[in-house]
A and B are shown apart, each in its own frame.
Chain A
Amino acid sequence: MEHLLKPTPLKNKFITPGVMVLIVLAVNGFIFLAIRLLYGLGAVTNLDAQHPWGIWIAIDVACGVALAAGGFTTAALGHVIHRDKYEALIRPALLTAMLGYTFVAFGVMIDLGRWYYIWHPLIYWNGNSPLFEVGICVMF
């Protein structure tokens, strides 16, 4: 297991058909992202007064946090309960978790009407709001 912890150069090909598909999806996403930033949420979503949150917020939060959950449990297994033989698993799990939370923050930011104010919960606190707790937890 020890050899898995040492940094080694990647010998596999990077551009594979799978990666190509993902690149096409990502470019597609960036186009919509640009439209959203230029013309507002109404231009790319079907949200209205009765449906202020859509599938977007569900997927970006649920998927991102779900990705991060693996990091928590694996870290608990290895570092808290000290099953040291899982050490090799912890690193990729923590990387995925970190990426997961980054995606949550980024996805939520794009969904915010005033995305440039995403840091506001740091200075304007409302302890009564369940969303405040979620926001602070994601930031940390």
Chain B
Amino acid sequence: MAVQNRRDFLKSATFIGASVAGLSAKKVHAEIKESNPGDRMGVLVDTTVCIGCRSCEWACKDAHSLETDTLQSYQNNRSVFKEERRPSDKALTVVNEYNNEINSSNLPIDVKVQCMHCEDPACLSSCIVDAFTKHEDGTVTWDGDKCIGCRYCMVACPFQIPVFEYSKAIQPNILKCDFCYDRTKEGLLPACVEICPVEALTYGKRDELISIAKSRIKVKPEKYINHIYGEYEVGGTSWMYLSGIDYSKLNFVLLSNESAPGVSREIQHGLFKYFVPPLAIYALLGGIMWITKKKETNEEEL
């Protein structure tokens, strides 16, 4: 799969870089963990509850003034599930449907895809002009006034979420789920959570969502696998998932618990620690210059 190939390539490239610099990502990871305030919000997505009505897709477009059809046309159209879709510049969230391979008589499984709002976002860390912001409640937003359109965030994101408006010549935007930041700061629910008719989406404090998820697994261990996707992935994400079957069967990317930008950030900071390495190189060059110059004048004198 092409998606996986790029990830593998980037991963191996990072490993080579890391081994060259001989640095570890663990320290930075720990620093970030400690700075986390406890009031992070999140959403728990229960894929065993989702019925694939796609109301959330409609609500998202409606809330973000994207072009959209009627709500009924979304609820009645299941033909889009024939192929796997990804968030695009026309839809910030999409629902994909997968066969329940464990038992063919079981209903299919629907998975909502959107930005995960990482605890340590790779987009934010990679951005050349610091155009991303991690807000107090965990929301990761993009600032159009700074963005230069280099699309490094798209390369960096472990979930491949940010998309770019390739069709625009002037002011093309980077688009991704903004966790309905304008709504939540006024006390409203995110549009997708508000419209969900079966409460497959639960909005709340991240800590509380984790305990809700754990109790659901405990009460019905036959229904869920014992893994909350997003609890620890890439250092934790605001959006978390529950599933009845293995996440790899639902095309989730299997990620380590290390924060995604940790290694590259450590190399970057190591190379410029107190600006010593660059100065050392210039000092070395200057030294060589001075020594060779002296030798030459000596030779001339002789």
Query: Which of A's residues lie within 8 Å of B, judged by CB?
Result: 36-43, 45, 47-53, 76, 79-82, 84, 111-115, 117-118, 120-121, 124-133, 135
Contact = CB atoms under 8 A, between A and B. Distances in A.
A51 B3 CA distance: 9
B125 interface: yes
Interface residues of B, number: 47
Contact of A126 (B130, B271, B292): B130
B289 A120 contact: no
Contacts of A124: 129-131, 146
B167 interface: yes
A49 B159 CA distance: 11
A124 to B, nearest CB: 4
Interface in B156-212: 160, 162-169, 171-172
Among all A-B residue pairs, the 3 with the closest Cβ atoms: A113-B149, A42-B166, A52-B154
Given A76-B285, A126-B128, A131-B126, A52 B268 contact: no
B166 A117 contact: no
Given A50-B3, A117-B148, A120-B146, A40 B168 contact: yes
B288 interface: yes
Contact of A39 (B129, B169, B269): B169
Nearest to B172: A113
A132 B289 contact: no
B155 interface: yes
Interface of B: 2-3, 6, 86-88, 125-131, 146-152, 154-155, 160, 162-169, 171-172, 261, 264-265, 267-269, 271-272, 285, 288-289, 292-293, 296
Contacts of B163: 49
A117 B261 CA distance: 25
Nearest to A49: B163
Contacts of A117: 129, 146-149
A40 B211 CA distance: 47
A49 B88 contact: yes
Contact of B151 (A113, A130, A135): A113
Contacts of A37: 169
Nearest to B264: A130
A116 B87 CA distance: 27
6 contacts: A42-B166, A42-B167, A51-B6, A52-B155, A76-B285, A129-B127
A29 to B, nearest CB: 18
A129 B171 CA distance: 22
Nearest to B292: A82
